[in-house]
Structure 1
C-alpha cells in the first residue's frame, strides 16, 4: 500500500509541460494534402488533431474496414477469449470470399497468429471472415460487434455491413472515425508486429507456400511506419490509414479517395513529415502501468489493481515554452464483483489552467470473481468481532 500511496502523491505533482493551443482554423488552413477526398492527421496518445480535410465526410473505407476487424481480434486476445496458437477453421463461406485473399480452403486451419498475418499484411478477406466466425459465431454477429464497438467509441459516421470492406450499400466511415479506430487498435502494441511486417510466409513447410507482401509500401520506404491498413475498390479509390513513430511520438494519418496508390502514399508522407517537423510528445504513462488499488465490494479479493488503458503523453509544438500541468487520479468507489479484466475502474486526467486537456480510463488489471457466502460471512464475522473489542 505504501507504494501506491507514493505513486498517487507523485501523480498529483505538477508537471512542467505545455499543451498546444492551435485553433481549429489554423489546423484546417494548413494546405498539406491535395487530390484526396478527405484526410486527417492526429497524434495517437492525446488524440490531438494536427490537420484535417473533410474529415467527417462519409465515404466507403474499402479494406481499411479491417482496422475494426483487427481491433476486435486484439481485444479478444487481450481478454483471454482467444489465444495466439489456437487453430482457426475455415468455413466454406469464408473460403468463398473474393478480392484480396490468402486462398484458404474449406476446412483448412491456421493459428490466430497466421490468420492475423493474412489480414494485416495480405489484406485477406477469407482470413477476416474466418476470424469473425470464430469470435462472433457468424460474420453477421461479428458485424454487430463492430457496430457496437463503433458506438462505444463515439463514432457517429461509421456503419459496417461486413468485416472486409468489400463494396456494400450503406457500408461507410470517415477519416475522423478511422483515425479513432486506429488510435484504439494501437493500444495493443503487438499489432504493429504484424502491420509493420513488409513480407512473411504462410504454409512454409508445405508445397503450397504462400508469400505475403504488405499492401502498405510505406512500411518499407518511410522510416518509422509500422502500419496500419490500405484500402482500394473502384468506388473508394485508394485509401490508407498509416501510423509512424519517431522520437517517442506516434501519429496516425488517414486519406480517402486518392486517384492512385502513388498519390495516396505521397499525401500520407506529407502529413507525416508535417507532424514530425512541427510537434513533439512527452510520454507520461505506458499502457497497463499500475496506478493504484480500487476497492471491490463482495469480491473474492477486496481490491483490484487499476492500470492505464492506453499510452498517455502530452503534446507540444517544437520549441514552445512550457507551463504547469496537474495530474488527477480518480478511482471508482462503488465497484461490485464480478469484475472482468479491462473493465473501467477509474479515470486519470491531465489538467491545465483549470481545464481538462486529456482524460483516459483506468481499467482492471485482472478478473475479480464474486465471493461465496462463506467468504462474505467470515468477513462480516471478522468485522463484528473487531467492533466488539
Structure 2
C-alpha cells in the first residue's frame, strides 16, 4: 500500500513538471509563427538599396559632386579605354588655353600608327585635324589617334603620361595612376569609380568635350571611314549625352557616362561589369535610381554673372562677378525648399583686378547648415587707373557735390 502511494506521488510530480515545462515553453514563444517571422525580418532586413553587378560603381551629382550611390567607389581597378577621358581632358584643356586650334593639323607618327586594338588605321605621316583626332578618340575609342594626340600635346607619349598623372594629382585623385593614354593592358594602370567620375565631371566643363562626346556617328576621311560611338546610351537612354566605354579581359566592361533630365545632370561610373552590354544595363539602372529619387536645386550655372560691384581706382567703374563652378545640389524629391542661397561679396574692390580672381563666395545652406561653397570670380581684367584719371575722378566727385 505504501509503495503504491509512493508510485502515485512520483507520477503526479512528473506530470506537474511536464505541465510546467510545457507552459513555460509556450509563454516563451510568440503568439504565432507569422509573428515570429515578422519580428525576425524587421531585425534582419537591410535598408533599401540599389544592387549592381558592377564590381565598383558610383552615382554623382555633376553640379555639387554629391555622392548619391556607391559600391566600393574608392577601390582601385583597371579601367581599359575609360582612360581616354583623361586623355581628352588634357586635349580640351590645352585647346581652351590657346595652345592650338581644333583646325590645326596633327601628323601621325610611326609609333602612333603601331597601336593595336580600336583604331582608325592611321598611316605614318597621315594628317588629320585636332578635331578629327579628338572625334576619333571620343567616338571610335581610337588608340592610334590617342597616341598621336598625346605626342602632339606633350611632345612624346611618355611626357603626356606624366601630364596625365600630374593632372590626377592636381585633382586629388588618390586611387588613380596612368601608364599610357589608351587603356591598353599595362602594369600600374588603374583608377577608382569615384576618381573617374571626377575626371568626367571635369571634362564636362569644356564645350569641346561635350560636343565630340555627344557625336554618335561621324564620316572620317570624307566619308571613306565611318565612326560609330561605342557609348550606346546616346541612343538607348533619354538624356545621355557624354561618356566613355572600355573593355579588356583584365578590366571587363566599364563605362563612365553622363545624363541630364529636368535640370539634373548625373555622372555614373561602373567598373568590372561581367558580360557584354552589362555596363550599359547597370548604368541605366543606376541613372533610373537617381532620376526617380532626386531633384536638382540649381542657383546658377558655371560662368553665370551674379552681380556687378564697384571698382575703386580702376580704368572701369564696375566689374562683373561670375560663378567659378555650378551652384546647386540635389535633394530627395520634396525637399527642394530646404535649400537657401547666400551671395557673399564686398560692396567694392580696388583695382588692379585679374580675370579669375576670387572676389567672394556663393554659399548654399540646407536646413541652416552650410553644405556647399562656390567661389565667385572676376569676369575680366581691370587695370589700375593712371594718376591723371584718378585726379579727374576726384574732381568729378567734388563737382558733383556742389
TM-score normalised according to structure 2 size: 0.77
Residue 146 of structure 1: aligned partner:
164
- Select 2:264's aligned residue among 249, 265, 286: 249
Question: What is the CA–CA distance in structure 2 between the aligned matches of 1:57 and 1:142, rounded to whole Å?
Answer: 25
Gap regions ≥5 residues in structure 2: 1-45
Gap regions ≥5 residues in structure 1: 1-27
Task: State the Cα distance separating 1:267 from its structure 2 match.
Answer: 0.8
Question: What is the CA–CA distance in structure 1 between the aligned matches of 2:359 and 2:75, rounded to whole Å?
Answer: 35
Residue 260 of structure 1: aligned partner:
275
Closer, same or farther: CA 187–346 of 1 in aligned 2, 3 Å: farther
Note if 1:350 corresponds to 2:327. Answer: no
Note if 1:289 corresponds to 2:304. Answer: yes
Kindly indicate whether the alpha-carbon contact (under 8 Å) linking 1:33 and 1:39 is maintained by their aligned counterparts in 2: no
Residue 212 of structure 1: aligned partner:
227
Range with greater deviation from structure 2 (345-354 or 67-76): 345-354
Task: State the Cα distance separating 1:78 from its structure 2 match.
Answer: 2.3
Task: State the Cα distance separating 1:188 from its structure 2 match.
Answer: 2.0
Kindly indicate whether the alpha-carbon contact (under 8 Å) linking 1:158 and 1:177 is maintained by their aligned counterparts in 2: yes
Kindly indicate whether the alpha-carbon contact (under 8 Å) linking 1:136 and 1:142 is maintained by their aligned counterparts in 2: yes
Note if 1:92 corresponds to 2:106. Answer: no
Question: What is the CA–CA distance in structure 2 between the aligned matches of 1:359 and 1:321, rounded to whole Å?
Answer: 18
Provide the secondary structure at the position in 2 that maps to 1:151. helix
Question: What is the CA–CA distance in structure 1 between the aligned matches of 2:350 and 2:109, rounded to whole Å?
Answer: 42
- Select 2:325's aligned residue among 310, 315, 323: 310
Question: What is the CA–CA distance in structure 1 between the aligned matches of 2:300 and 2:358, rounded to whole Å?
Answer: 17
Residue 230 of structure 1: aligned partner:
245
Provide the secondary structure at the position in 1 that maps to 2:50. coil
Provide the secondary structure at the position in 2 that maps to 1:322. helix
RMSD across aligned positions (CA): 3.2
Closer, same or farther: CA 175–122 of 1 in aligned 2, 3 Å: same
Residue 73 of structure 2: aligned partner:
55
Residue 104 of structure 1: aligned partner:
122
Kindly indicate whether the alpha-carbon contact (under 8 Å) linking 1:331 and 1:347 is maintained by their aligned counterparts in 2: no
Closer, same or farther: CA 158–298 of 1 in aligned 2, 3 Å: farther
Residue 155 of structure 1: aligned partner:
173
The count of residues paired between Structure 1 and Structure 2 equals: 354
Question: What is the CA–CA distance in structure 2 between the aligned matches of 1:135 and 1:226, rounded to whole Å?
Answer: 26
- Select 1:196's aligned residue among 214, 218, 243: 214
- Select 1:128's aligned residue among 146, 153, 170: 146
Residue 10 of structure 1: aligned partner:
none
Task: State the Cα distance separating 1:228 from its structure 2 match.
Answer: 0.4
Task: State the Cα distance separating 1:75 from its structure 2 match.
Answer: 1.8
Task: State the Cα distance separating 1:332 from its structure 2 match.
Answer: 12
Provide the secondary structure at the position in 1 that maps to 2:277. helix
Kindly indicate whether the alpha-carbon contact (under 8 Å) linking 1:294 and 1:306 is maintained by their aligned counterparts in 2: yes
Closer, same or farther: CA 388–248 of 1 in aligned 2, 3 Å: closer
Task: State the Cα distance separating 1:204 from its structure 2 match.
Answer: 1.2
Provide the secondary structure at the position in 1 that maps to 2:188. coil
Note if 1:360 corresponds to 2:378. Answer: no
Q: Which protein, 1 or 2, shows the higher relative CO under an 8 Å CA cutoff with sep ≥ 6? A: 1
Residue 168 of structure 1: aligned partner:
186
Closer, same or farther: CA 174–329 of 1 in aligned 2, 3 Å: same
Q: Which has the larger radius of gyration?
A: 2
CA deviation map 1:179-201 (0-9, x unaligned): 11111111224423221222111
Closer, same or farther: CA 387–189 of 1 in aligned 2, 3 Å: closer
Range with greater deviation from structure 2 (156-165 or 181-190): 181-190
Kindly indicate whether the alpha-carbon contact (under 8 Å) linking 2:297 and 2:339 is maintained by their aligned counterparts in 1: no
Note if 1:46 corresponds to 2:64. Answer: yes
Closer, same or farther: CA 183–343 of 1 in aligned 2, 3 Å: farther
CA deviation map 1:128-185 (0-9, x unaligned): 2222222222222222222222222221111112211122211111000111111111
Question: What is the CA–CA distance in structure 2 between the aligned matches of 1:99 and 1:138, rounded to whole Å?
Answer: 20
- Give the structure with the larger helix fraction: 2
Note if 1:328 corresponds to 2:343. Answer: yes
Task: State the Cα distance separating 1:335 from its structure 2 match.
Answer: 9.5
